[in-house]
Structure 1
Amino acid sequence: MRIAVLADIHGNVLALDAVLEDLARRGGAELTVNLGDSVSGPLWPRETFERLEALNLPTVRGNHDRRVAVDPADETMWASDVYAQERLNEAQRRVLCAQPLTLEIAPGIVAFHARPDHDEKYLLDAIVDGQLVRAPLAAIRRRLKALDPACRIALCGHSHRLELVRIPDGPVIFNPGSIGCPAYDDSTPPAHVSEQGSPHARYGIVTLGGEGRPDRFETIAVDYDHEAAARQAEQAGRSEWAHALRTGFMPG
């Protein structure tokens, strides 16, 4: 069984389409899961929502999905959330908010956006000198306490950083990286950035072994018209997003 893992699209429908086309060229997957943060960003939130709605994928709620649903907008919403909210109708926002925090997509395989008990706290990451890096194993273990002990593969996003971690005597945790937002900054103390280091759209494929064969985890980086996405961000007044989309790094 092949499972395609999509995460952190952030309204970048061009990157999403490129990933879906690449997946089709590779023979597709029996199951495709969306790990949330689908529409928030100064790009194409409505178009992305409609594309995903047509696909009807099993999907978990990201922190930005929850924030976009806040109506009216309040001080907790970042500019990208407001941009998306203004372009979605009430029914679409309700759909985003109603998505589950966690979802068992196959026996022993659990999907969530950030942590199994929280949609906004990092699972595999620590903040060091303003950058996201891998957290110590002991910290990751503590953060997994809410995870079902029967879980053998956990799929997560949120940090936009590719990670594959096998917990000794525990699950494999797989973060495929971000499809639509290759870098971001977060001013929430302690302020930090996440940078994938290239503009590619990233996703993953998990091939379940079965009958004694090992599971296989693939990470895929897909080129697409990131310049068009950067121009869209510039038109929305978000030069830092444009820089991230072009380079995979934050300015400065």
Structure 2
Amino acid sequence: MRIAVLADIHGNVLALEAVLQDLQQRGGADLTVNLGDSVSGPLWPRETFERLEALNLPTVRGNHDRRVARDPADDTMWASDRYAQERLTAAQRETLFAQPLTLQVAPGVIAFHARPDHDEKYLADAITDGQLVRAPLAAIRRRLKGLDPACRIVLCGHSHRSELIRIPGGPVIFNPGSVGCPAYDDSTPPAHVSEQGTPHARYGIVGLDVPGQPDRFEIFAVDYDHEAAARQAAEAGRPEWAHALRTGFISG
């Protein structure tokens, strides 16, 4: 069984299309899973929603999906969420909110956006000197407390950082990185950045249940017209997004 894993599209329908095309060229997948944060961002939220709706993928709700769906449109709302909220219908926003927090996508394979019990707290990451880095093993174990012991693979996103971690005596954690947002700046204390380091769209494939072979995990970085995405962000008044889309970094 081949499971394609998408995460953190953030309204970047150009990156999404490039990933879907690349997946098809690699032979496709038996199942494609979306780990949430699908539309928030100064790009193409409605077009992305409609494309994903047509695909009808198993999908979990991300923190920005929840915020787009339910946060009040006032001065406290994050700009990327407001941009998406204004361009989606009420029915589309309710569809986002109705997505589950966790989802079993195959026997022993659990998908969620950030943590199994929270859509906005990091699972495998810590903040050091304003950067996301891998968290200590003990911290990751604590964050997985309460997970079904039968779970052998965890699929998660949120950090936009590609990760593959085998927990001794526990599951494998697989984060494919972000399809559509290669870097971001989070001012929530403690302020930090996440940077993939290139503008590529990232996704993953998990290979399961091949007789005589271990589970296989692959991460792909796909080139696409990131300059067009950067121009869209700039036209929406978000130069910092434009820079991130062009470079994979927040500054420099």
What TM-score range do you get, normalising by the shorter chain? over 0.9
Tell me if structure 1 keeps the 8 A contact 2:71–2:77.
no
The answer to whether residue 20 in structure 2 is matched with residue 20 in structure 1 is yes
Matching residue of 2:126? 126
Q: TM-score, normalised by structure 2?
A: 0.98
Post-superposition CA distance 1:60-80 (Å, at most 9, x none): 000000000125324552100
Cα separation, 1, equivalents of 2:44 and 2:135: 33
Cα separation, 1, equivalents of 2:40 and 2:76: 14
Cα separation, 2, equivalents of 1:109 and 1:240: 36
Matching residue of 2:146? 146
Cα separation, 2, equivalents of 1:133 and 1:72: 32
Matching residue of 1:91? 91
Two-structure CA RMSD over aligned residues (Å)? 1.0
Cα separation, 2, equivalents of 1:143 and 1:72: 30
1:211 to partner: Cα distance: 3.4
Q: Name segments (4+ residues, structure 1) moved above 6 Å.
A: none
Tell me which amino acid in the other structure corresponds to 1:249: F
Matching residue of 1:188? 188
1:235 to partner: Cα distance: 0.2
Where does the alignment leave 5 or more consecutive residues of structure 2 unmatched?
none
Cα separation, 2, equivalents of 1:208 and 1:24: 18
Tell me if structure 2 keeps the 8 A contact 1:67–1:76.
no
Tell me if structure 1 keeps the 8 A contact 2:114–2:120.
yes
- What secondary structure is seen at the aligned counterpart in 1 of 2:70? coil
Cα separation, 2, equivalents of 1:168 and 1:176: 20
Matching residue of 2:201? 201
Q: TM-score, normalised by structure 1?
A: 0.98
- What secondary structure is seen at the aligned counterpart in 2 of 1:69? helix
Where does the alignment leave 5 or more consecutive residues of structure 1 unmatched?
none
Cα separation, 2, equivalents of 1:46 and 1:176: 24
Tell me if structure 1 keeps the 8 A contact 2:113–2:119.
yes
- How many residue pairs match? The answer is 252
Cα separation, 1, equivalents of 2:74 and 2:115: 24
1:212 to partner: Cα distance: 4.0
Post-superposition CA distance 1:128-163 (Å, at most 9, x none): 000000000000000001311110000000000000
Cα separation, 2, equivalents of 1:235 and 1:146: 45
- What secondary structure is seen at the aligned counterpart in 2 of 1:221? strand
Post-superposition CA distance 1:3-48 (Å, at most 9, x none): 0000000000000000000000011000000000000000000000
Tell me which amino acid in the other structure corresponds to 1:81: D
